[in-house]
A and B are shown apart, each in its own frame.
Chain A
């Protein structure tokens, strides 16, 4: 029951917020998110004492067609649960000032409930139900509280992601029915399913790969991301970039890699190539953008390219690096989006040309934004570097050429983020610019950003704690000496 509480609590909170009035539901949301965060941190205790690959597991009741409500928690899932809970608290505090209706607060709690469900589920059917359930709250968050282009962005986001998950559903159905045909037992449990070989295996792999690829987003399936990120409210973008992009990669680690070990090894050049394209394509697109949020959205495409590069490298360093980069990207891009949200909150504009010499007006904002940009560019000593370096080191052991192409990403990332940083914060403000309206951060915002920036520095210099947590996941994926 302790794992079910992890997603049930926010769900109850969501309904509670719906009941309260505007102001009351804001306090309810804060209370629930803090309680959930506390609970997830407390979970580390029982998690340590658990044995076997799964720190904590909870077997629920079985239902028809072999579907059974099983939940489990391993290192990667626990770290992503922490990230989700932490970012939800950050989002609630960040959007504290603006007058949002109770629906806003309940949507975030429902979103958190669905995300917890995705990270916890051991059963593919339960995983798929939570996977889709994430779309609904985010659809309303983007649609109702987004900026002017929100209607189109929300529809595009929902349709595009739903289209992707249709592929995932067909893949899962085929996988389960093939397992029934060959082994005569109905089961949807991730551990118990084996992958078909030959062409059927390839088709199932492709279906599931596309389903997860849309969420990451991998290169051809990424066009929903810039619109969704640009139009979402600040806290919405933080959750979208901070956690929802991780569901795809989490799906790879939890579903694809354990079930198709030899196929992932055979397709490694193609997938690594796709990841490198993701990095370079995302960076080039980011260079062209004139809107700050779209730029950060495309930078997420590039950063997650590193995650995929790491995870598919099949070496302990690469997989650990990829998983760690998931968390790093959550913190870094979450901070960036939050600060752009603060800018938008003050001036209702987010174009690069709309601001200028904020160094004088908002020195603290400049300091924190610079810190977050340096982390996202992968400056060693901050968290971005650790994830990218380990991913590239992992891929260097598998395919050195791909590692070199991927490494070009670090130059391109500077080429698109620093000019933008300078245009907004250092350059002289044009006459029609909104920088006059930008006031410096208040205590609440500074506290939030200090927590995030110190977390970046801590992970950058001492990632040992987190890497230790990810150790069992990496060990299951890459048993020592397994890489041929």
Chain B
């Protein structure tokens, strides 16, 4: 890997230098819309534009050191670029890559929506104050509602999930606004400083509720299964990785405002409850996408516990690494799993019966992903869970950790069941459709990354340090 390009030589010194990734995405978005003007544009061209935009954004992130004075410096206004933001942005954009690579709609709108959503996440990451945070959040969510309406899996009732998602999102954002108002009423500014007095606390709590809604913690989780079940698998993969990572980042920003506030204290409990709820429900599901939805709910719970542990330890930079590592590993696992559903076209659990005999390679990749999701040691999933539990144990959150560990054990129940169906049963039908090149390549990438992250972690540790430094 070539060393970082010295910021001075590359980044033009005008203040927006740090916003290059977001700008690239915006340019990509505009290029997409412009391409739409021309009458007969091919899906491949749109795809190339989208993927290039994302890759260039990631490349820029990796190689522009964080600009000095990133902490809400003068003239930068609402923009603040710390290493945490830059690291998580990598997650957002890499999470969108599979969906961008898989889109083959005839018009350019879905690609534009995806880029718009990524732009929103970029803004969220670069937000210097609560207002910018809100704008990023909305800019991310609105395209998502439309994407859910547009990219539907076969047999899903039209628009039902999109309507549910829209109204829930709208109520949640209005809750956030109310919290913002209270925060402003108490502190007089939109900055990330904690607002004094009960009104400020209430404001923070409401904003926290909005964040927990976006992650789908237990009381606010009901929309997630319906949306993931009715959206196309690639979109579900995008939402379960990028949007969930953005929501986690959003929660981290809020928790960092007041590390020992009521919100941070209830986070571990909400997380453990979500993990257990997700695991228990997933055991019962017959539909594969709904099962993976509840499994992503369970993983979201563990992420919330991780944020809770981070907050309990005073939100210092070093202990943010496990959350990031979990997000990174989960990104590969979840995207890979949903991609397999896209590739295999399996809907219910019986569709998987004997799949290994029909197409051994995707089955093997899916098995590796499932083992990683379940957290079996040689895979990355185990290492991620271990670090998160480690931090939680250090922070003294014993019962939430026990709940999350129990959820991991229950998780075995449904992950192994899928492997069992694939490998131990006889195939009911003999058709094995051909697999498109792009899908298989991404599936291979996700599976190999998820499996090897556990075995060769020191390869990634240099990458982690550089990012989190």
Contact = CB atoms under 8 A, between A and B. Distances in A.
Interface in B407-459: 408-409, 412-413, 416-417, 419-420, 423-425, 454, 457-458
B423 A144 contact: yes
A181 to B, nearest CB: 10
A162 interface: yes
Interface stretch (A31-39, A127-135, A221-229, A297-305): A127-135
Interface stretch (B78-86, B142-150, B376-384): B376-384
A406 B69 CA distance: 75
Interface stretch (A148-156, A207-215, A281-289, A310-318): A148-156
B377 A132 contact: yes
Contact of B378 (A61, A136, A174): A136
Contact of B377 (A128, A150, A163): A128
Interface stretch (B166-174, B180-188, B204-212, B387-395): B387-395
Interface string A109-144: 000000000000000000011011101100110011
Contacts of B360: 103
Contact of B420 (A129, A132, A133, A143): A143
Contacts of B130: none
Q: Which range holds the interface residue count of chain A?
A: 20 to 34
A136 B412 contact: no
A140 B376 contact: no
A344 interface: no
A129 B458 contact: no
Contact of A173 (B390, B416, B419, B420): B390
A151 B412 contact: no
Given A143-B424, A166-B405, A159 B416 contact: yes
A65 B412 contact: no
A429 interface: no
A42 interface: no
B461 interface: yes
Contacts of A158: 412, 416
A103 B376 CA distance: 20
B424 A163 contact: no
A64 interface: yes
B293 interface: no
From B377, B389, B393, B458, residue with most partner A Cβ within 10 Å? B377
From A63, A65, A162, A170, residue with most partner B Cβ within 10 Å? A162
A177 interface: yes
A177 B371 CA distance: 27
A410 B376 CA distance: 40
Contact of A65 (B389, B390, B417): B390
A143 B423 contact: yes
Nearest to A135: B376
Contacts of B412: 158-159, 162
B409 A151 contact: no
A173 B371 CA distance: 22
B420 A63 contact: no
Contacts, number: 63
B416 A61 contact: no
Nearest to A150: B424
Contacts of A132: 376-378, 382
B374 to A, nearest CB: 9
Contacts of B424: 143-144, 150-151, 154
A65 B461 CA distance: 12
Given A132-B376, A166-B409, A140 B423 contact: yes
B420 A177 contact: no
A84 B419 CA distance: 27
B413 to A, nearest CB: 7
Given A132-B378, A136-B376, A163-B409, A61 B458 contact: yes
B390 A129 contact: no
A140 to B, nearest CB: 6
A162 B409 CA distance: 8
A163 B419 CA distance: 18
A173 B409 contact: no
A159 B416 CA distance: 9
A136 B371 contact: yes
Interface string A349-382: 0000000000000000000000000000000000
Nearest to B425: A151
From B389, B390, B424, residue with most partner A Cβ within 10 Å? B424
Nearest to A110: B378
Contacts of B390: 65, 173
A155 B420 contact: yes
Contact of A63 (B371, B382, B409, B458): B458
Contacts of B408: 166
Interface in B98-132: none
Contacts of B377: 128-129, 131-133
Given A63-B461, A173-B389, A133 B416 contact: no
Contacts of A151: 420, 424-425
A131 B420 CA distance: 21
Contacts of B416: 139, 155, 158-159
B322 to A, nearest CB: 10
A437 B409 CA distance: 45
Nearest to A180: B394
Nearest to A173: B393
Contacts of A131: 377
Contacts of A63: 457-458, 461
Contacts of A162: 376, 409, 412
Contacts of B417: 155
A150 B420 CA distance: 10
A154 B420 contact: yes
From A61, A131, A158, A174, residue with most partner B Cβ within 10 Å? A158
A416 to B, nearest CB: 31
A133 B409 contact: no
Interface of B: 360, 371, 376-378, 382, 386, 389-390, 393-394, 405, 408-409, 412-413, 416-417, 419-420, 423-425, 454, 457-458, 461
Given A143-B424, A163-B409, 20 more contacts: A63-B457, A63-B458, A64-B461, A65-B390, A129-B454, A132-B378, A132-B382, A133-B377, A135-B376, A136-B376, A139-B416, A143-B420, A143-B423, A150-B424, A151-B420, A155-B420, A166-B409, A173-B389, A174-B393, A177-B393
5 tightest A-B CB contacts, nearest first: A132-B377, A129-B377, A133-B378, A143-B424, A151-B424
9 contacts: A64-B457, A65-B390, A132-B377, A132-B378, A136-B378, A154-B424, A155-B416, A155-B417, A162-B412
